[in-house]
Structure 1
Amino acid sequence: MKSKKGFTLIEMIIVIAIIVILAAVVFFSIQNYI
């Protein structure tokens, strides 16, 4: 199943979701710190 190179659509969605969650956590942490 791994013959295709690059990301599948589901993998892209998962990676983007993780980045968004991490960015939100960092953003709220900075807001609370100030």
Structure 2
Amino acid sequence: MKTSKAFTLIELLVVIAIIAIVVASKVGFFLQFSAIFAFKAL
């Protein structure tokens, strides 16, 4: 079996899926934080 340093498509999809789950679980907090930050910036 040939090993390569590049990510395979499966590995890339798994990483993207994990990131998407984390972002989806935190999206409420991120929206609140960004709204507060945007308000303070005004």
In the superposition, the TM-score normalised over structure 1's length comes to 0.69
**5+ residue gaps, structure 2:** 33-42
Shift >6 Å, 4+ stretches: none
Counting helix residues as a fraction of each chain, which structure ranks higher?
2
Q: Residues 2 and 23 from structure 1, CA distance in 2 versus in 1: closer, same or farther, beyond 3 angstroms?
A: farther
Give the aligned partner of residue 22 of structure 1: 22
Q: Residues 16 and 2 from structure 1, CA distance in 2 versus in 1: closer, same or farther, beyond 3 angstroms?
A: farther
Q: Which amino acid aligns with 2:14?
A: I
Q: Percent identity?
A: 50
**5+ residue gaps, structure 1:** none
In the superposition, the TM-score normalised over structure 2's length comes to 0.58
Computing the radius of gyration from Cα coordinates, the structure with the larger value is: 2
Aligned-residue CA RMSD (Å): 2.2
Offset of 1:3 from its aligned partner? 2.0
